[in-house]
Structure 1
Amino acid sequence: MVPHLTTALTGPLLALEANFLDATPDIERWLRGMWQEHTPPFYGSVDLRNSGFKLAPVDMNLFPGGFNNLNSAFLPLCVQAAMTAIDKICPSAKSLLLIPENHTRNLFYLQNVAQLVAILRLTGLNVRIGSLLPEIVKPTPIELPNGTTLLLEPLVRSQYRLGLEGFDPCVILLNNDLSAGIPAVLQSLEEQFVLPPLHAGWAVRRKSTHFAAYDEVAGEFAQLVGIDPWQINPYFAVCSSVNFYERQGEECLSSSVDAVLGLIRKKYKEYGIEETPYVVVKADAGTYGMGIMTVKDASEITGLNRKQRNKMSVIKEGVNVSQVIIQEGVHTHERVGKEDQEGVAEPVVYMIDRYVVGGFYRVHSGREKDENLNAPGMRFEPQAFETSCSLPDQCQNPDAPPNRFYAYGVVARLAQLAASLELERTTPAAVEDMAVSL
């Protein structure tokens, strides 16, 4: 299924896709060189927004939870990429412990876990699932709608290793984003690989750190292919010491919103864009679409009512919001679905290691092109990507499906590269070295 675009592709985005198409050898050579210097995260998913004049990432998830939404035709890609990732980390690995989110009732999420298990088992690994939930005190089967069964088992911790009863894995794969903090059972492990590393979890990670790294990557890439980096990179600012309950930090928020909107207006004027600029204010840590609001004028920040402040104050696991990122809003002009179910859509691209392994559209019929789509009422179109995001076709138009999806894949891989830089710079050792140098 190819998305229906409400804007004619005769403007900057068509030129951007044409540029990517012309520069394909240079792009792939450059990315190959970058991956020789940097280790990609084990997996990740990137939320993209396509405005018709800009194609940019707006979020990067290092614990992706939607593998069940991928087209089944991409399963071989997933397995091959997972094999590559495991071989680089631990070539002799025989067993893997998967630790999921603490969801036992969210069957959609558990189908993602089941798909992950299937992918990893096809790499030749013995895979079992360990739960952080205290109520899981014995092997607990959970029936899924498709007839399969997941077996959740209680974790068993020795002095320096983590496993299950009678199961001592080589690798621990987290599909839990650690929003509530790093559990003691995961700390101080030795001789076991934990993927992604603990500092990739939201207890430590910050979106602003990722987008600072992405800013560097986008700048270097833009110079390589001869484009304005703004075409693939959203402006952003950060405010700390925020308390929405007590209206603390409103001055920082208001001035930062005003500054980012000013930068956007300049670019819109430069490109002759008539859209209304907006920013997205969201918690600097966390996911699940919580703690997010769209703002078109700085005065909206100082006029939040109690309901709005309550909504912005807490994210997943009841964690209070104290720092926010103010990010340039990117309109989405893509629409997917039949007339009675058509909704605005954004592509989500999935990667394992350095490889694009598929994607889908997040669609919301009740939201507008300048609103967050990761909200109740969204749906996924799992068969949206008819072709791999890695195979452009020089014989077709720049906006033909293979080339549109190639552009998605390029920008997603830039975000994955930024994530690798981010994780390198935020390892406990790197942070300690930085503190000593200061």
Structure 2
Amino acid sequence: MVPHLVTALTGPINELEQRILESTPVIERWFRLEWMEHTPPFYSSVDIRNAGFKLAPVDTNLYPGGWNNLTPEMLPLAVQAAMAAIEKICPEAKNLLLVPENHTRNMFYLMNVAQLQKIFYQAGLNVRLGSMNPEIKEATTFDLPNGEQVTLEPLIRHNRRIGLKDFDPCTILLNNDLSAGVPGILEDLHEQFLLPPLHAGWHVRKKSQHFKAYEEVAKRFGKLLGMDPWLINPLFNSCGEVNFAEGTGMECLQTNVDALLGKIRRKYKEYGINEKPFVVVKADNGTYGMGIMTVRDAKELDSLNRRTKNKMNVIKDGQVVNDVIIQEGVLTNERVNDAVAEPVVYMLDRYVVGGFYRVHADRGVDENLNAPGASFVPLAFEKGAQQPQPGYKPGASVPNRFYMYGVIGRLAMLAASYELEATDPNAEVYD
């Protein structure tokens, strides 16, 4: 099934799509040169919003779950990309240890782990799953809703190497975003490749750092194509030392919200956009759609109810929120079967390998869709996945639209590579 898109087929997004399609050779060469200078994250996923007048990433995940939502047709691409990635890092790799999140009761998450295991097995590696969960004391097999099984084994550390009983891997793939910090078992490893590196975890990463790097990438890309970078870039501010529980730091938050709404209004006026601007306030680190609220007027922050304060105060693994990013809200103009939807693009190494729509029937066009009740519709195509089809009008071809999403996804991935260079404790700071 090809998702039914009801994105407006006229206006700036079509001009943007046309410009991107016409510039494909220039764009691909530009990316090729960038990847000669910078190392892509090992894998990533990017949430994108298509407002009809602008198209922008709103979140970049360096420990993506949800691989189980990709279609079987997308797996060969993922396997090829996995082969390329492993060849670059550890060509003689034979054993790969996959370290997942600790939540073993989320069967959909475990289906994602099983899919990753399958991808790397088909790429030619022995793949086993090592859990840091203290409840996993022996090899434990879980039956999954799709009829498959997955076996978790307790992680063992021996002489500065980690592995499993009778299993010594040269490569460790983390599918655990380290929100609660780095467990000692993962530190100071000897001659083992840890992917992604520890400083990619949410204990170090900040969304504001990522979007600062993305702003730089968007400016350079805008110059390359002769277009306003705002069309692909969400404006943002950040604010530290907020405490939602105690109500402190709210003045800083209000000032930044008001300033950003003013900037967005000016842009909307410039482009003749009649929508009401809004911003999204998010925890500056963390994931899972936690610690997020939509604000249309800074005065709303005067009267936050207890439920909203509690929701904003604590995120995954009980981490208290003190730093927030205030991000330009990007409407989503996509629908799948009349429900609001946003595309999510998946990448392995520097390659786009697939994607899906996150769909939420109970959310509005200006709300966060990464919330309980979301469903996932694969991006399925009759022909090859993300190759553009020359000759089609903009908006008339789903592959063309997905190629455009893939370009935005790769721009966010490039920004993540800049970001990781800047936070790498063992490297010179990227300027």
From the superposition, tell whether residues 321 and 384 of structure 1 become closer, same or farther in structure 2 (CA, over 3 Å): farther
2:376 aligned partner? 380
1:262 aligned partner? 262
- Is the 8 Å Cα contact of residues 315 and 321 (structure 2) preserved in structure 1? yes
1:204 aligned partner? 204
1:403 and 1:20 map into 2 onto residues whose CA distance is 10
- Indicate the SS of the match to 1:213: helix
1:384 and 1:11 map into 2 onto residues whose CA distance is 26
Aligned counterpart in structure 1 of residue 404 of structure 2, from 400, 407, 414: 407
From the superposition, tell whether residues 388 and 327 of structure 1 become closer, same or farther in structure 2 (CA, over 3 Å): farther
Counting only pairs closer than 5 Å after superposition, residues 56-135 of structure 1 correspond to structure 2 as: 56-135=56-135
Aligned counterpart in structure 2 of residue 359 of structure 1, from 355, 359, 376: 355
Give structure 2 stretches of 5+ with no counterpart. none
- Is the 8 Å Cα contact of residues 44 and 350 (structure 1) preserved in structure 2? yes
Post-superposition offset of 1:88: 0.4
1:261 and 1:275 map into 2 onto residues whose CA distance is 12
Post-superposition offset of 1:410: 0.4
- Indicate the SS of the match to 1:74: helix
1:392 aligned partner? 388
Question: Deviation digits for residues 113-148 of structure 1, max 9, x if unmatched?
Answer: 000000000011000000010111111111112222
TM-score, structure 2 as length reference: 0.97
- Is the 8 Å Cα contact of residues 354 and 379 (structure 2) preserved in structure 1? no
Question: Deviation digits for residues 404-437 of structure 1, max 9, x if unmatched?
Answer: 111100000000111111111101134xx66xx9
Counting only pairs closer than 5 Å after superposition, residues 9-24 of structure 1 correspond to structure 2 as: 9-24=9-24
- Indicate the SS of the match to 2:188: coil
TM-score, structure 1 as length reference: 0.96
Post-superposition offset of 1:302: 2.2
Question: Deviation digits for residues 168-210 of structure 1, max 9, x if unmatched?
Answer: 1010000000111110000111210000001101111111111
2:225 aligned partner? 225
Post-superposition offset of 1:66: 0.6
Question: Deviation digits for residues 79-118 of structure 1, max 9, x if unmatched?
Answer: 0000000000000100000000112111111000000000
Post-superposition offset of 1:383: 4.0
Post-superposition offset of 1:382: 1.9
- Indicate the SS of the match to 2:426: helix
Post-superposition offset of 1:8: 2.9
1:298 and 1:24 map into 2 onto residues whose CA distance is 41
1:335 and 1:149 map into 2 onto residues whose CA distance is 34
2:29 aligned partner? 29
Alignment-mate amino acid for residue 362 of structure 2: G
Post-superposition offset of 1:247: 0.8
Question: 2:421 matched to 1:424?
Answer: yes
Post-superposition offset of 1:159: 2.6
From the superposition, tell whether residues 116 and 332 of structure 1 become closer, same or farther in structure 2 (CA, over 3 Å): same
Alignment-mate amino acid for residue 348 of structure 2: I
From the superposition, tell whether residues 128 and 7 of structure 1 become closer, same or farther in structure 2 (CA, over 3 Å): closer
- Is the 8 Å Cα contact of residues 389 and 408 (structure 1) preserved in structure 2? no
- Is the 8 Å Cα contact of residues 99 and 176 (structure 1) preserved in structure 2? yes
2:268 and 2:383 map into 1 onto residues whose CA distance is 33
CA RMSD of aligned residues (A): 1.5
- Is the 8 Å Cα contact of residues 358 and 385 (structure 1) preserved in structure 2? no
1:386 and 1:85 map into 2 onto residues whose CA distance is 27
1:386 and 1:358 map into 2 onto residues whose CA distance is 14
Give structure 1 stretches of 5+ with no counterpart. none
- Indicate the SS of the match to 1:219: helix
- Indicate the SS of the match to 1:377: coil
Equivalences, count: 430
From the superposition, tell whether residues 389 and 410 of structure 1 become closer, same or farther in structure 2 (CA, over 3 Å): farther
2:147 aligned partner? 147
- Is the 8 Å Cα contact of residues 265 and 277 (structure 2) preserved in structure 1? yes
Post-superposition offset of 1:385: 5.3
From the superposition, tell whether residues 46 and 395 of structure 1 become closer, same or farther in structure 2 (CA, over 3 Å): same
From the superposition, tell whether residues 55 and 180 of structure 1 become closer, same or farther in structure 2 (CA, over 3 Å): same
Post-superposition offset of 1:78: 0.2
1:351 and 1:385 map into 2 onto residues whose CA distance is 17
Post-superposition offset of 1:240: 0.4
